Structure 1
Amino acid sequence: MTRFATRWTLVPALLASAWKQLVSNSLVYIAAITVLQGAVAVIALPLIRWLFRSAVGAAGLRGLEMSSVITLASTPTSVVLLIAVVVVAFIALSFQLAALVLMSTRLQSGLPVTVAGLLADAKALGRLLLRPRSAWLVGYLLVVLPLGNFGFASVLTQAIAVPSFVSGELLKSTTGTILYVLFLLGLALVNARLVLTIPAFVAGEARPLRTSWRMTKGITLPIIVTVSAIILLSTVLISATLALSLLPTALADAVWPAAAPAVASVSLAIAQVLTFLLVGATTAALVSTTVKLYRVGTDWKGPAGIAPIEPESNVASNQDFRRPALLAGATLVTLVAGLSIVNYPVMEALEAHPDTLILGHRGFSGGGVENTIPGLEAAAEAGADLTEMDVLQTKDNQFVVMHDVNLQRLTGQDLAVADLTLEELTALTVTDLAGHSAVIPSLRDYVVRAQELGMPLLIEIKTHGGESPDMVELLIGELEELQAMDNNMFHSLDKPAIERLKQLRPDVYAGYIFALAGVNLPPTTADFVVIEEASYTSGLRDDARANGKGVFVWTVNAPAAQRQMLRDEVDGLITDHPDTALIARNDIDSNPGLTGRLIDAIDRFVVIN
């Protein structure tokens, strides 16, 4: 990178280059982003969904859950179809990014962007993708890049993220927090070092990952700063755009409520289109930046078939695209009109008076340690409708309220619940990161206090592998003695435990927890299903209700996600923050206007990353 005086001159130089490219060739980039993202959404994504559904069906499954993953992985036809899913996703994503790199190279070289030139580039790109060594890019494109959220957006990767229940659990301990922060920092570092992978791949490098790693040595931090600056500017522009899109609906709510649904539908459509363009511009800016950086380091003139680089002053301008601009404008207007029609029933369907139950997850950690009596009392004080809590069997076949099978996180001691008696466990003190402390409660003490508070419970039957064969029977016996079977609910990740509970007490309201759910919900004798937030879809909700099942979702902590579940009127929302969920429910119930619905619809339907 010797063309820059110092490594920190990279930042302004790259930002200036990206800005120049976007301004000079905005119509070209808009057209390219629209075509590429549209092709992925219309062709690749439906094909991937069909292949995945076929893979699940080939294994004889109605839907996917954690316990059926082994069945899926051991069915040859399913494995072949799953490999096809990966191949299609890889080809679509790599072609999308590589095509933008090729186009950016042409623009920076002062070459015309013509249909014939793009087709020639696409043919050359196809040959590159067919090389066996291209397979090394799969992990980078489908795991490292989307997890790092490095700004290269695609409809294929928007759902790839660390599940909130995983990050949430890690953040509940000092060690977990440190590990999670290190993981995020490591992702940022790896993404910065591999940011030139696609330009190197398109340039025909034999080992593009290694090439990028070598070329970015010593300039990692400037790269992170540059990418962060582009993403920050994009976020500000998108936030301003979304805020402005609310004004017409707020005005309609105030002066012409009858027209508010139509106005909100059009406003949502405009927000969707403008955000799509801004996200596309962000990707284009990042691609332009990486191409510039790669060219500076290698004097790259592009793949075979592209003419030598000309001075950047010869870059094609928007004046060459007046006719395409008219076509693009007409397309955008048509798109807004079509989305407005689609959005109208969606806006009307968003629930304005939700009856969703709010459940404090393991109590309320804002006032006490999880699964302790102070945490239970805090949930009651916050106004939660129910408290969700966990039960484990002790060494002497008693029951204790505890989530972790090992007590290291909360007591600092490497002790297993299965190895301790009830007396030994209830003598231990647990402490959380907020500084709350309390003793581990027995099931009996916890239930009695809940009854005194008038707080119904959702009791999770947890297993550690050392339970007695009659564990469920013993649990029922203790709760019946406390007269606590009829007024509380039950759920578990352990399917046999729930089926045994329903067999012995078919009258109780019991649920089956899905840590992973896909396609449809597998059969269960449970009365309701509990779906992890990352797996939840309105399709799964509808499938459950069509089969007479209630729908609970866990662990929903982000305010926007809480409002989404409330708008969907799921039966139960399990959260670490019942206070914010209750505020959201009251707000939705007391403000039935379309502005509030539009805000929640934007949070749900406007894809930003």
Structure 2
Amino acid sequence: MTNEKMKVWAYFKHNAGDFSRHWGAYIMLISVTNLFIGLAVIPFFNFAAQQTLRIGHVPYITLTNLGQILTHDPGVAAVLTLLGLLLLLFVYWQFTFLILGIQNIHRQTRLSFFQLAIATLKKTHRLTPTTIAVLIAYFVLIFPFSSVVFKTSLLAKLTIPDFIVDFIFARWYLGLLVIALYMMGTWLAVRLLPLLPALILSETPPRKAVAKTWRMTRGQTWRTLLAVLLIFIPVAVLTTLLTIGLYLLQSYLDSHWEHWALLGATINLGVLQVVMLLLTVFFTVMLYQLGTSQAETFQLIPNQDLIARVPKRRRNLLFRIGAVGLIALVIGGSSLFYYAYLTGALASQPLTISHRGVDDGNGVQNTIPALQATAKEKPDYVEMDLHETKDHQFVVMHDENLKDLTGVDAKPHQLTLSEMTKLTARENGHTAKVASFDQYLAAAERLHQKLLIEIKTTPEDSPQMMNHFIQLYGQRLLADHDQLHSLDYQVVTTMRKQVPKLKTFFILPYTLVFPETPASGYTLETTTLAMRVIDEAHNRDQKVYAWTVNDSDDMEKVAFMDADGIITDQLGELKTTLYQMNHHPSYADQILQYLTSFSDDAEN
């Protein structure tokens, strides 16, 4: 073993031993911090943002209307910006509190939570405009790629939506670019691991701290990566062994002790949560200690106690009792949840909705042959798209340019309906004629297939587009029990005002604050969908459809979140998944499902 590897191993042994001695204190520190954030800080920001939008008469905020808010509602934009800066301050306080708290336990300075909070507030003087700029750059560059290093639920919405990921990886050159950026982000996260402790704990000006961190970590990246892997690998191995062990144990109970299988599964889920909590706390503490120790080694912060010592007191036992009590409280509170999950009481029966009228590439999207093939599987709804044409008619088409499907480099509003329906679309090895909405709707009626119609809009649409659509189809769609949804808020409000009985959903590609609109419900991109959002919608008598959900694990997760509908390109997979959920798979399989598709989101 080389000298460098021996140093890394010695570091790991030292800090792992420290964790084994003070695990109770570490669990209390991190759990209390997370509880405070989850129960107080995040609800405060949600409430403040909602009140800001309500007072400013802004019904919603998402990626598509940020520019409009900035230009038309500068007061709302200013308050939201202040809330964003305040959020960053809380992120800074969280990291500061954890770094000081972990060092307090590690060095046995024995400060109370109140004293740590005071010490954290005193560090606020480090948060200069330059520090804020550096932190924003740090989060923007590193968090989308390597949030595992310093993770916070306060920045949980800094995720890339699945539809953007799908768009990127459908194009190999963009996929390669993202992989390269991911590798670069990971490399930066590893190299700049000591930067956050340096920004918080040192008295060095931020610019100098960044420059010194970059200079001192030169040539140390592989050593740091080795140290990170030495932390990550045991956690991954233990998680795998735990999962396999619980699965085998539960499989034995399922087959040999059926009367005790449900009780055993409930206990096993409790054991799973406890061990995963311990592993998560261990991983977090080890990473924070690694970053802080590197900051000391590279002389980015003073190599001395971070807080003045106070007389030692033997409180390990009290912390362990407190940690065990907290764990028991969580497990006790979760036992009813586990029981409901295992018996299927949590699983709702969401509507099955075929995205663009296809199932696993069984035809060309938004065409009648695909509709006919998909309708045989009896989805609750077939989702499809329409555009206005040059002669103010309606054609079934998703794309704003026809080139990808038909080879014609034109937009729907540049061609008449007659010209459009003469085109042939090609996709998934199939060909089909482009259909008018009249043709598609008539075909759906013959098949007794209900539709979820997405109305696409562009700046080139005629001013009377919606009035014309309502005059032609409003009552017919009501009679067919069809539904509508749209990304255009004007479409939603117009439909709700003129045809209030027709269910019309508002599509939101990114959920920042719960909207207050007259919509019948919301079609929400699954990446930022959370249980609290669905609960809030149901409290307001609104529905939630999740899109686009193509993985069985995500289907299970969304169903357990109590979504009212699931829009998917894999209709057959969705039906199979829901069938298996409704017919109670083995408890062993449900434990695996919980681990892979539900545990990360249970707190939402």
TM-score by length of 1: 0.80
Partner of 2:143: 146
Q: Secondary structure at the match of 1:392?
A: strand
- Report the CA distance shift for 1:34/1:305 in structure 2 as closer, same or farther (over 3 A): closer
Q: Secondary structure at the match of 1:529?
A: strand
Deviation at 1:116, TM superposition (A): 5.7
Q: Which deviations, in whole Å up to 9, do the C-alpha atoms of 1:354-411 show, x marking residues without a partner?
A: 4321112223353344434455456446654322111111222222222232456656
Partner of 2:189: 191
> 1:203-602 to 2 correspondence within 5 Å?
203-206=202-205, 207=207, 208-217=209-218, 220=221, 227=228, 230-246=231-247, 263-291=264-292, 293-294=294-295, 298=298, 302-303=302-303, 326-350=317-341, 351-352=344-345, 354-362=348-356, 363-373=358-368, 375-376=370-371, 379-380=374-375, 384-407=379-402, 415-426=410-421, 440-451=434-445, 453-476=447-470, 479=473, 486-517=480-511, 520-524=514-518, 526-591=519-584, 595=588, 598-602=591-595
Aligned equivalents of 1:14, 1:277: Cα separation in 2: 25
Alignment-mate amino acid for residue 581 of structure 2:
I
Partner of 2:133: 136
- Report the CA distance shift for 1:125/1:337 in structure 2 as closer, same or farther (over 3 A): closer
- Do the aligned residues in 2 keep the contact of 1:193 with 1:220 (CA within 8 Å)? yes
Aligned equivalents of 1:50, 1:176: Cα separation in 2: 38
- Do the aligned residues in 2 keep the contact of 1:273 with 1:332 (CA within 8 Å)? no
Partner of 1:49: 43
- Do the aligned residues in 1 keep the contact of 2:520 with 2:542 (CA within 8 Å)? yes
- Do the aligned residues in 1 keep the contact of 2:492 with 2:506 (CA within 8 Å)? yes
- Report the CA distance shift for 1:126/1:541 in structure 2 as closer, same or farther (over 3 A): closer
Partner of 1:30: 23
Q: Which deviations, in whole Å up to 9, do the C-alpha atoms of 1:578-603 show, x marking residues without a partner?
A: 23222210111111665555444443
Partner of 1:314: none
Partner of 1:85: 87
Alignment-mate amino acid for residue 95 of structure 1:
F
Q: Secondary structure at the match of 2:579?
A: helix
- Do the aligned residues in 1 keep the contact of 2:247 with 2:589 (CA within 8 Å)? no
Aligned equivalents of 1:97, 1:436: Cα separation in 2: 58
Partner of 2:109: 114
Aligned equivalents of 2:112, 2:557: Cα separation in 1: 45
Which range moves more in the overlay, 277-286 or 590-599? 590-599
Q: Secondary structure at the match of 1:458?
A: strand
- Report the CA distance shift for 1:605/1:288 in structure 2 as closer, same or farther (over 3 A): same
- Report the CA distance shift for 1:17/1:209 in structure 2 as closer, same or farther (over 3 A): farther
| Identity fraction in percent | 23
Q: Which deviations, in whole Å up to 9, do the C-alpha atoms of 1:514-555 show, x marking residues without a partner?
A: 33445544131x333323323433333233333333332222
Aligned equivalents of 1:120, 1:174: Cα separation in 2: 53
Which residue of 161, 164, 170 maps to 1:163? 161
Deviation at 1:151, TM superposition (A): 2.3
- Report the CA distance shift for 1:598/1:118 in structure 2 as closer, same or farther (over 3 A): closer
Aligned equivalents of 1:158, 1:30: Cα separation in 2: 26
- Report the CA distance shift for 1:211/1:302 in structure 2 as closer, same or farther (over 3 A): same
- Report the CA distance shift for 1:341/1:128 in structure 2 as closer, same or farther (over 3 A): closer
Alignment-mate amino acid for residue 43 of structure 2:
R
Q: Secondary structure at the match of 1:74?
A: helix
Which range moves more in the overlay, 366-375 or 245-254? 245-254
Aligned equivalents of 2:217, 2:405: Cα separation in 1: 42
- Report the CA distance shift for 1:31/1:265 in structure 2 as closer, same or farther (over 3 A): same
Aligned equivalents of 2:445, 2:288: Cα separation in 1: 60
Q: Secondary structure at the match of 1:574?
A: strand
- Report the CA distance shift for 1:25/1:405 in structure 2 as closer, same or farther (over 3 A): same
Alignment-mate amino acid for residue 452 of structure 2:
L
Q: Secondary structure at the match of 1:531?
A: strand
Alignment-mate amino acid for residue 342 of structure 1:
G
- Report the CA distance shift for 1:572/1:130 in structure 2 as closer, same or farther (over 3 A): same
- Report the CA distance shift for 1:305/1:26 in structure 2 as closer, same or farther (over 3 A): closer
Deviation at 1:33, TM superposition (A): 3.7
TM-score by length of 2: 0.80
Q: Secondary structure at the match of 2:166?
A: helix
Q: Secondary structure at the match of 1:403?
A: coil
Q: Which deviations, in whole Å up to 9, do the C-alpha atoms of 1:4-46 show, x marking residues without a partner?
A: 98xxx86x45752453134321235634542432232233341
Q: Which deviations, in whole Å up to 9, do the C-alpha atoms of 1:112-145 show, x marking residues without a partner?
A: 4332699999877655541214323431564444
- Report the CA distance shift for 1:191/1:222 in structure 2 as closer, same or farther (over 3 A): same
Deviation at 1:341, TM superposition (A): 2.3
Aligned equivalents of 1:493, 1:530: Cα separation in 2: 9
Aligned length: 579
Alignment-mate amino acid for residue 53 of structure 1:
F
Deviation at 1:461, TM superposition (A): 0.9
- Report the CA distance shift for 1:123/1:366 in structure 2 as closer, same or farther (over 3 A): same
**Unaligned stretches of 5+ residues in structure 2:** none
Partner of 1:310: none
- Do the aligned residues in 2 keep the contact of 1:64 with 1:522 (CA within 8 Å)? yes
Deviation at 1:160, TM superposition (A): 3.3
Aligned equivalents of 1:276, 1:354: Cα separation in 2: 28
Alignment-mate amino acid for residue 337 of structure 2:
V
Which residue of 54, 61, 76 maps to 1:60? 54
Aligned equivalents of 1:335, 1:94: Cα separation in 2: 23
- Report the CA distance shift for 1:91/1:323 in structure 2 as closer, same or farther (over 3 A): closer
Alignment-mate amino acid for residue 540 of structure 2:
N
- Do the aligned residues in 2 keep the contact of 1:498 with 1:510 (CA within 8 Å)? yes
- Do the aligned residues in 1 keep the contact of 2:423 with 2:433 (CA within 8 Å)? yes
Q: Which deviations, in whole Å up to 9, do the C-alpha atoms of 1:270-302 show, x marking residues without a partner?
A: 322211221222233334444555555x36673
- Report the CA distance shift for 1:507/1:333 in structure 2 as closer, same or farther (over 3 A): same
